[in-house]
Amino acid sequence: MSCKNVVIKLGGSLITDKSNPRTIKWDALKNAIDQIANYYSRFGPKIVIVHGGGSFGHYEVERIKKNKSFIDKISVSEIQESMLMLALAVLKLLVDSGIPALLHPAHTICNTNDAKSCNYTPIIRDLDNGFVPVTYGDAVFDSEGKIISGDDLSVEISNVINSDCLFFATDVEGVLDEKGKLIREINKNYKITIINKAEFDVTGGIIGKINKAFNSSSKNIRILSGEKLFNALIGENVGTKIIK
């Protein structure tokens, strides 16, 4: 079944080069957005886009944590500024591809780093008005700086809007086994092997993502390559399907 009401998370690994601070992978980002635009113009679904930080947010947080014991106020500003740069790039490509996207930084809709604390009214209103709302993992201030994860936002939004599809697009084919082979389906009992431990991800990485995904009420939940988004949207069995 093709998706009518979908949350798409564009992972930091897909849209940025995690090994270089503040570096966007323009080709991968454009490719992912072109597929979304193609599907959007043909089928007119409801779409919410969430993106991660990769070498923007995660890099800043890593740097700050080396020098400070907690995320202080100036650090919150630094992380928010960095994430907004990336968000504007994503927004620009969305708008250029003909998608009526509107941006809602998580720090304006969320009080804490708990995705349940966010006010999703602006996102619901956008969907009702025929827009494509966009939000992203971000720094929020709640006594001290905290990081709200794009994966958590995606799961929560999927539940709030009752989406039929929830897709986590990354730079890998899906969840891989120890030999690097794609695992087609994962249930709660599956033990995941971490392949490249060197890659930093301050909000839980692939294992965190899988565990969070089980909390979505969407029927079609997948972790997949950003290159296969159109296939997933039209209902093809690509990437790793999360089985609850």
Ligand X SMILES: Nc1ncnc2c1ncn2[C@@H]1O[C@H](COP(=O)(O)OP(=O)(O)O)[C@@H](O)[C@H]1O
Q: Which of 46, 107, 209, 241 binds ligand X (CB under 6 A)?
A: 209
Q: How far apart are CA 109 and CA 119, in angstroms?
A: 5
Closest-by-Cβ residue to ligand X is: 11
Taking the least distance from each CB to ligand X, the nearer of 84 and 183 is 183
| Residue 201 lies near Mg ion (rule: CB under 5 A) | yes
Q: State the binding partner of 196 from Mg ion, ligand X, none, CB within 5 to 8 A by kind.
A: ligand X
Q: State the binding partner of 145 from ligand X, Mg ion, none, CB within 5 to 8 A by kind.
A: none
Site for ligand X in 164-183 (CB under 6 A): 168, 170-172, 175-176
Which strand (E) or helix (H) includes residue 225?
A: strand 220-225
Q: How far apart are CA 141 and CA 236, in angstroms?
A: 40
Q: How far apart are CA 88 and CA 28, in angstroms?
A: 16
| Residue 19 lies near ligand X (rule: CB under 6 A) | no
Contacts of 215 (CB under 8 A, 6+ apart): 155, 159
Helices 205-213 + 150-160 axis angle, to 10: 10
Query: Strands 220-225 and 240-242, how do they pair?
Result: antiparallel
Q: State the binding partner of 194 from ligand X, Mg ion, none, CB within 5 to 8 A by kind.
A: ligand X
Query: Sign of the CA dihedral 105, 86, 90, 29?
Result: negative
| Residue 23 lies near ligand X (rule: CB under 6 A) | no
| Residue 196 lies near ligand X (rule: CB under 6 A) | yes
Taking the least distance from each CB to ligand X, the nearer of 12 and 133 is 12
| Residue 20 lies near ligand X (rule: CB under 6 A) | no
Taking the least distance from each CB to ligand X, the nearer of 62 and 72 is 62
Nearest alpha carbon to residue 91 among 134, 52, 53, 43:
134
Contacts with ligand X by CB under 6 A lie at 11-14, 52, 168, 170-172, 175-176, 192-196, 199, 201, 205-206, 209
